[in-house]
Structure formats: C-alpha cells, structure tokens
C-alpha cells in the first residue's frame, strides 16, 4: 500500500495558524493534494484534543474520520534550556500510538508547565530527559528532531547550540531513529553528515494552514502492507522509507544568509568574504541552512550513502499556476485552473505523473510546459533567507531557458 504522509502539522490553536484549520478541512485538502495520512498536530492543546476526540475514532491501529481518512496522534514541542553552559533552543515532533497515550504525554508535560496557551508549548526540559520521559510512558512514542537545520530552533541550526545529534541527545542518541529535513534542506544536503546515515530522513510540511500550497508541500512516502501506527513506526525506525517529496531547498525561508531588513542576501562563500557581517548594518548575518551544512559536513557535496532513499523536489501546483497567470497564489483565477486540473487527478499525480497531452486537455500549453519543467527540475529559484521564502522565477525568459537543477554531481557515487 502506497502511503503519502505529512506527519508534522499544526491545529488552529497554535500561534500564527489559520482559524479555519479543522479536521474536515485537513481531510478535504489532503485528498486534493494526494495525501492519505496526516499527523493530528498539537494533541497537547486541550481544545484541539477535544476536537480530535470528537472527529476521529481509533480503528484497526489508526485514527480515522467518518469517511475513513487516516491520522496519527502528533504534536510539536519547543525546548528552551541551558546545557553545558550554553543556551539551547530546539523543536521536536512527537508521535503517539493512540489518543490515550497522547493524554498521558500531556499530563506529564503539565507537571512541567502549561499546555493551554499554544499548540506548540515551551518547556525547560533537556532533550535527553525528554526521551526518558516519553519512553517511561511508552516505548512506542517516537521523538523526531524537527526541521533540523532551521537557524533558530533546529537541532543543527546556527542558533540552536548543538553541532551534532550526539551532542543534543547524549546517552539517548540511539533512541532517535529519524530527523526531519525542513523546507530549507533536502536529503542530499543531509547525506553530507555521516552521523545521520543510520537515521531515516523524513520530510513534512509543518503547515500552519490547510491550503494546497502548504499541506503536503513536503511529505514522506511509505510502502506498507497495512496502514496502522505500528507499520509506520516500524518503517521509520528501520529506515524503510520509500522516498520523499521536497520543497526546493532554495525556496525555504532560511536557505541562504542575510538580513531581510537590510535587503541583503548572500551565498555561504559571500558570507565568508564578509566575515559573517552585514555590509549594510554591520551586525552579524542570519546564517542559513546552506552555510550551516558547509560548516558541519564531513563529506563532499554529491556524496550518496549506500542506504540513501530517493527524493523529488517540487514547486506546489498553485504556485506554478500563479506564476503562469502573474497573480497571487490565493486568487480566484488560480483556484479555477487548479480545480480544472483536479479533473485529471490529485495534485501529486498532476505534478509527477500526468503526461503533457492530458494536461493540455485542461490548461494552455505554457502552463503545461511549466508543470513538466517543474517535474524535470528546470525552474530557477531565487533563494530564501532570514525568514523570507525563496521565489520561483516564472518569467518567459527563465521558462524558455534550459536551466540545470542544483549541482548533483556524484549522487550516483556511493561514499
């Protein structure tokens, strides 16, 4: 069974999230996207937890809606603490086998702080202690370091305080079976870190709204005999991921270095030339994922471990349509074309499988060409930095020009 999963999302009680985030909306847009498994998001929040219990039932090892769409109990927490004399800030995704276990997790957290003010609560708990706390409840609970390269709250981010998974989790490192790439990195960038070879490399959306340009913008594909929590957990723990679908890392908000207030953006080499200082305000630059990977990598770019799983980079369909039409992504013009294309299949099928001759039955040739060029990795991206998303370049010149994808030399050469 092919399972296309997005297991890092948020509910409507998290900060900066859509207030229309509901289970019915999540199911509706997940089906439009082509997903068949979601995380619940934010099960620690009491109001969201109540909605989960109202809309979902536990059936045959998985949470289901009345129409049979599947969810796994999931939340994200923020840990802010001091360790070895350094301030640490890190986010983790937590998966639970059922809502009863999720409730036990919440009760445990409530002994250390509040859970009702935000869907992603903050605790002064060290990462090794978190693992011990969770596994004292159930060894079926999975802890996944979230968006590990994000500067401010990623395990290997420039501001997190850690330079390795071992440093973060210490004696509990063996209990960490997977990492999440985040929007600003892809598996090839993570392959450069030897320490990650024995962990599953997962990709999820970290959505704050249900729109199709958010939900499933990154997702993980599994091949399971049966869809239930045990089979998903087994796949994660035993590196049995089939493949991932990725954002172009350049489109992520922290790929390059810079200062958005100064309108300064730099590649890692440029940052080195400027010694990490913004030429405009003379303050330290926010160093992005590309820079951080270069600093921590113990392999050359292009090195591919023997157990590496395949991946595909994709720009969301709504962005492609908006680029073709020259309008905003949430406009009625984009929605009309999007719904016309849905007659051919879900979004992932349209982006990856539907041949051009069928696309032309629903859209004009220029848009069909853009969809194919996206599939072939031939659209340039203006890199994101310091909290600003990168921008695909859809003008006529960029579309017509044969653009090579980001350097992939040696990806077929095992290291």
Residue-wise pLDDT tens digits, 364-380: 999 999 999 999 999 99
N-terminal to C-terminal alpha carbon distance within the chain: 31
Which whole number is the average pLDDT over 253-272? 95
Cα pseudo-dihedral 78, 84, 87, 89, rounded to 10? -20
Cα pseudo-dihedral 352, 339, 10, 200, rounded to 10? -10
DSSP secondary structure of 124-175: ---HHHHHHHHHHH-TT-EEEE-STT-TTTSTTSTTTS-SSHHHHHGGGGGG
* pLDDT (tens digit per residue) in 58-115: 999 999 999 999 999 999 999 999 998 999 999 999 999 999 999 999 999 999 999 9
Domain 2-250 coded CATH 3.40.50.300: no
DSSP secondary structure of 262-320: TTEEE-HHHHHHTTTB-TTT-SBPB--HHHHHHHH-SS-TT-B-TTPPPEEE---HHHH
Cα separation, 57 vs 54, whole angstroms: 8
* pLDDT (tens digit per residue) in 182-233: 999 999 999 999 999 999 999 999 999 999 999 999 999 999 999 999 999 9
Please report the pLDDT score of residue 395 as a whole number: 73
Every domain of the chain with CATH number 3.20.20.140 lies at: 2-250
| The pLDDT of residue 165 is above 70 | yes
| The pLDDT of residue 41 is above 80 | yes
């Amino acid at each position: 069974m092919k399972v296309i999963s997005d297991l890092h999302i948020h509910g409507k009680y998290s900060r900066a999230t859509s207030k229309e985030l509901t289970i019915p909306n999540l199911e509706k847009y997940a089906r439009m996207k082509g997903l068949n498994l979601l995380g619940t998001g934010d099960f620690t929040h009491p109001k969201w937890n109540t909605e989960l219990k109202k809309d979902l039932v536990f059936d045959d090892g998985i949470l289901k809606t009345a129409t049979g769409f599947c969810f796994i109990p999931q939340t994200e927490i923020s840990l802010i603490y001091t360790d070895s004399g350094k301030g640490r800030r890190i986010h983790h995704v937590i998966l639970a086998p059922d809502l009863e276990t999720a409730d036990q997790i919440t009760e445990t957290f409530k002994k250390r702080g509040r859970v009702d003010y935000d869907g992603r609560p903050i605790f002064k708990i060290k990462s090794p202690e978190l693992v011990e706390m969770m596994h004292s409840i159930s060894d079926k609970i999975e802890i996944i370091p979230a968006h590990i390269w994000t500067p401010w709250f990623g395990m290997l981010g420039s501001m997190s305080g850690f330079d390795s998974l071992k440093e973060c989790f210490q004696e509990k490192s063996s209990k960490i079976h997977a990492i999440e790439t985040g929007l600003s990195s892809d598996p090839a960038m993570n392959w450069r870190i030897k320490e990650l070879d024995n962990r599953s490399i997962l990709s999820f959306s970290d959505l704050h709204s249900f729109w199709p340009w958010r939900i499933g913008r990154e997702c993980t594909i599994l091949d399971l005999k049966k869809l239930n929590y045990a089979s998903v957990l087994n796949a994660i723990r035993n590196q049995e991921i089939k493949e991932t679908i990725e954002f172009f890392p350049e489109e992520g908000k922290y790929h390059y270095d810079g200062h958005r207030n100064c309108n300064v953006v730099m590649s890692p080499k440029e940052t080195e030339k400027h010694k990490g200082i913004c030429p405009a305000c003379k303050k330290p630059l926010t160093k992005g994922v590309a820079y951080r990977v270069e600093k921590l990598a113990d392999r050359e770019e292009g090195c591919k471990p023997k157990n590496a799983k395949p991946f595909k980079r994709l720009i969301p369909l709504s962005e492609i349509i908006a680029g073709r039409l020259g309008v905003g992504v949430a406009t009625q013009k984009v929605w009309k074309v999007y719904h016309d294309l849905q007659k051919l299949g879900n979004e992932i099928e349209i982006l990856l499988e539907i041949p051009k001759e069928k696309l032309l039955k629903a859209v004009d040739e220029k848009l069909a060409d853009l969809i194919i060029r996206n599939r072939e990795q031939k659209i340039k991206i203006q890199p994101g930095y310091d909290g600003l998303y990168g921008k695909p370049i859809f003008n006529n010149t960029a579309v017509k020009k044969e653009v090579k994808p980001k350097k992939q030399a040696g990806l077929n050469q095992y290291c």
